[in-house]
Structure formats: C-alpha cells, structure tokens
Amino acid sequence: MGSAGLTIAEVAERTGLTRHTLRYYERDGLMLGVRRGDSGHRRYSERDLGWIELITKLRATGMPIRKVRRYAELVRAGDGNEDERLALLRAHRERVRAQLDTMAAHLDAIDMKISYYADATGACESPDSYLSSPRPAAASVPR
C-alpha cells in the first residue's frame, strides 16, 4: 500500500466486499472514519482494513447492524467506554456460542444418520469422518 492509501476498488478486491457494501458501511456509521484524498476519493489505511475485517466477522456471526453501529460509535468516542464495549462483545460471543452448540447438535444428528446408512449399506466411511473428535450421541432421531 502506498502512502496515499488504498482505493475503494483495491479494498473491495482485498476484502471480497463490493464497493457498494464499503460505501454502505461508511454511510451507515459502521466505519471509524475513512479519510479522503485531495480528489475527494476514499483512501483506506491498514487500520481501516483491520476494522473492515472485524466488522465483517461480527456480521458473519450474526451481529445486527445496529449493534455493529453501536460498537463503532463507542470506538469512535474513544477511551472511557470500554466496559460497554466489553459487555456488547461478551453478549455477542454468548449468542455465537449458543449457535455453535445448536449447530453441533445438528451435526451430531447428521453423523448419526450417516452412520446408520453406512452400517445398513456396508459402506466404508471416508477418512474425513475420523478428523472430527467424537461427540456424545444425539437423541434418537426418526429414520
């Protein structure tokens, strides 16, 4: 990255987000403050890229836009609100953990069905089945 920073096209390519999404993030208050070059075009820094990566992960794990916006507001406000930031992130972490637990239970049910059909057909499990650690058996699921 040059001293002038990255263009929106370069950031879109590096992050996989569209230009429209990047503009939306800025317009909707999710960004911390992307600077503008002399031409008025956005110029993104490495710090901006790190922030985009974080908010992308927050969104990918189901954090609502309003909560991401609130988190961005707190960060922009500076020191003194770390307790609120921490509470917001901890609450989100708990929601993500609950989702992971639910998904693990769903995966257990799928594994049980695969095992049932593999036993019924005499099929050999692929080596991939040995990559995951054993989990407790799921409750009885109808065939």
Predicted confidence pLDDT, tens digits, the chain (143 residues): 555 899 999 999 999 999 999 999 999 999 999 999 999 999 999 999 999 999 999 999 999 999 999 999 999 999 999 999 999 999 999 999 999 999 999 999 999 999 999 988 886 666 555 555 555 554 444 44
Phi, psi for residue 104 in degrees, rounded to 5: -65, -40
C-alpha–C-alpha distance, residues 112 and 143, integer Å: 10
Widest distance between CA atoms in the chain: 70
C-alpha–C-alpha distance, residues 126 and 124, integer Å: 6
C-alpha–C-alpha distance, residues 24 and 38, integer Å: 22
Q: Which fold has domain 8-118?
A: Multidrug-efflux Transporter Regulator; Chain: A; Domain 2 (1.10.1660)
Domain ranges of the chain: 8-118
User: Is the CB of residue 17 less than 8 Å from the CB of residue 30?
Assistant: no
pTM recorded for the entire structure: 0.77
